[in-house]
Amino acid sequence: MSARDEVLARVRRAKGPREVAPVPREYRAAGTRGPGDLDLFAERLRDYRARVRLVAADGVADAVAAALADRGARHVVTAPGVPPEWTATWAASGSAASSDAGVGTGPGAGRGAASTAGPGAEAAPEAARGPDPSDPAGRIESRVPLGGDAREALRDIVEAADAVVTACHVAVAETGTIVLDHDAADQGPRALTLVPDYHLVVVRAEQVVAGVPDAVAALAGARTQTWISGPSATSDIELERVEGVHGPRTLEVVIVTPDLTEIV
């Protein structure tokens, strides 16, 4: 008998032949609490100092334009799969102002690692656009590292951006958390949402679930994720809150609901 076996045998003898107490397994499970509460989701977001806009389905473009205008953004980068119409109103409103500079590629230009739009935008070099979405879910393989000139070009794009616009995979009403799937084309590579100082996320009502178990279930198969609860912040040093440490200092969320009157 080894020393380990001897020690364990003594422990068992000391504990005696008592039965193991049952462990409660009544955890919250996915799908047991109904749909996500949009009022609660918006409230939690505001608790985190995120900005919130509630809009009807046909109001996304105007809401995005208003948000970017309020921000004063001039160089916006979007995830490659973001619908071009989301930024169309803003890009159109800024095209006249940018015409003197001779720049601006329009909304949703290009598909791949990143797209740029609006005043101050420059076309992403072909090498930086990365692999095209290739499956019906619109996923891109963001874990494939971009190398050489492509990597440098992507870095230059995100560093020059005032703001980034993406969709999300799922959102949690109870915690006010937004989860990105970085292999999805409309959410883009992780660097895209960490480097710009302002992140605008469009969340559809049906993407809001009640709790974390529901979100975990919805994320089955999503490999590269970022869970976002408000702007990037830390209070590590003397409990003084500092924002923008690991990501954007400002998070703004456009919640798209089919019936706006229910939550206004």
pLDDT of residue 124: 45
Strand-strand pairing, 76-78 and 198-204: unpaired
DSSP E strands in 120-245: the ranges are 163-166, 170-172, 177-181, 198-204, 208-209, 225-228, 233-234, 242-243
The pLDDT assigned to 245 comes to 78
Please list the pLDDT of the chain residue by residue as tens digits (264 residues). Answer: 899 999 999 998 888 877 778 888 788 888 888 889 999 999 999 999 999 999 999 999 999 999 999 999 988 999 889 999 999 999 888 643 332 222 233 333 333 445 555 544 444 444 344 444 344 445 555 555 555 676 777 778 888 888 999 999 999 999 999 999 999 999 988 888 999 999 999 999 999 999 999 999 999 999 999 999 988 888 888 888 888 778 899 999 999 998 766 554
Q: How far apart are CA 61 and CA 1, in angstroms?
A: 73
Supply the pTM of this predicted model. Answer: 0.75
β-pair partners for 171 = 178, 208
pLDDT at 139: 58
Largest interatomic CA distance in the chain: 86
DSSP state of 139: B
pLDDT of residue 127: 39
Structure confidence at residue 241 (pLDDT): 82
Task: Please tell me the CATH code under which domain 31-92+135-233+243-258 is placed.
Answer: 3.40.50.10420
Instruction: Give me 198's structure tokens.
Output: 């302002």
Give CA 100 to chain center in angstroms: 34
pLDDT at 105: 33
Say what the pLDDT of residue 125 is: 45
Six-digit token string for 139: 């996923």
The residue extents of the domains of the chain are 31-92+135-233+243-258
